[in-house]
Amino acid sequence: MEDCYSVSIFHWNREGLLKRVNYGKRFTLRWYSSTSGDDYAKIGFKVDRSVSGNLFVRFEYLAADRMTGKTQSIVHTINLLKTSCYFGGYRYWFTCPECERRVGTLHIPPKGSTFACRSCHDLTYWSRQHHSKRWDSLMKNPKDIYSLMGTDSIGLAILAAGELRRKK
C-alpha cells in the first residue's frame, strides 16, 4: 500500500477543500519523490454539487494502458457521502466506486488506473505482510518456547544453565 497513490478525505477536510466556496474550482494533487523532491504524478480534480444536491469529486488524469503502453485520458467521478457526527456537525466520506462502501481513503495501486478502496484493490500494509503475532508472543514470553518444545520448568533451568556454560 505504501507504493499507491492515495487520496484522503480527512486531509481534504483539514485543508478546507470541501467548503462551499471551493465547489467547482479545479485543484491539482501532486505526489513527490522522496529522494529528488520532483513531482512524479499529478491528478486534477474538482469538488462539485449535483442537481440533486449531492457532492461528488471529478478526477481527471492520464494513465498508461498496461497492454499497449499508450496513455489514455481518464475522467473518474466519485460520490461523497455526508454523515452526522455524534456531538454535532458532519463528516464527509468517499463512496468506493467498486463496492460502494463509505471509505476515508481511496487508492490507485502501482499497476492500476482507477481509484478504489483498500479491500477492492486487495491492498495491505508492508508491516502486515511481514508480521507474525505468534513470533511476537513467543519473543515476549520465552517460557512459551520451552512449553512448545515439551520441557518443563526444570528443563528450562537446565537449558538456561547450558546456555550460560556455552557463553563462557
105-120 pLDDT, tens digit per residue, is: 999 887 777 889 988 9
Q: Are residues 29 and 99 in the same domain?
A: yes
Q: Are residues 86 and 155 in the same domain?
A: no
Q: Is the pLDDT confidence value at 154 over 70?
A: no
> What are the C-alpha distances in Å from 143 to residues 10, 99, 152, 153, 160?
44, 46, 9, 8, 11
Predicted pLDDT at 77 = 92
Q: Is the pLDDT confidence value at 43 over 80?
A: yes
Predicted pLDDT at 61 = 84
- State the chain's maximal CA–CA distance in angstroms: 81
Query: Which carries the bigger pLDDT value, residue 70 or residue 142?
Result: 70
Cα-Cα-Cα-Cα dihedral sign, residues 160, 161, 166, 168: positive
Domain holding 74, by residue range, is 5-123
- DSSP for residue 12: H
Q: Are residues 70 and 136 in the same domain?
A: no
Q: Are residues 47 and 95 in the same domain?
A: yes
Q: What is the pLDDT of residues 55-77, one digit of tens each?
A: 899 998 887 665 677 788 888 89
Q: Are residues 92 and 12 in the same domain?
A: yes
- What confidence category does residue 122 fall into, taking pLDDT thresholds of 50, 70 and 90? confident
Predicted pLDDT at 66 = 57
Dihedral angle over CA of 38, 1, 65, 75, nearest 10: -80
- The number of domains in the chain is 2
| Residues, the chain | 168
DSSP string, 54-107: -EEEEEEEEEE-TTT--EEEEEEEEEEEEEE-TTSSEEEEEE-TTT--EESEEE
Q: Are residues 97 and 159 in the same domain?
A: no
Q: Are residues 21 and 84 in the same domain?
A: yes
Q: Are residues 161 and 112 in the same domain?
A: no
Predicted pLDDT at 111 = 76
Q: Mean of the pLDDT values across residues 12-22?
A: 82
- What confidence category does residue 93 fall into, taking pLDDT thresholds of 50, 70 and 90? very high
Predicted pLDDT at 144 = 66
Q: Which residues share a beta bridge with 107?
A: 6, 116
Q: Are residues 143 and 91 in the same domain?
A: no
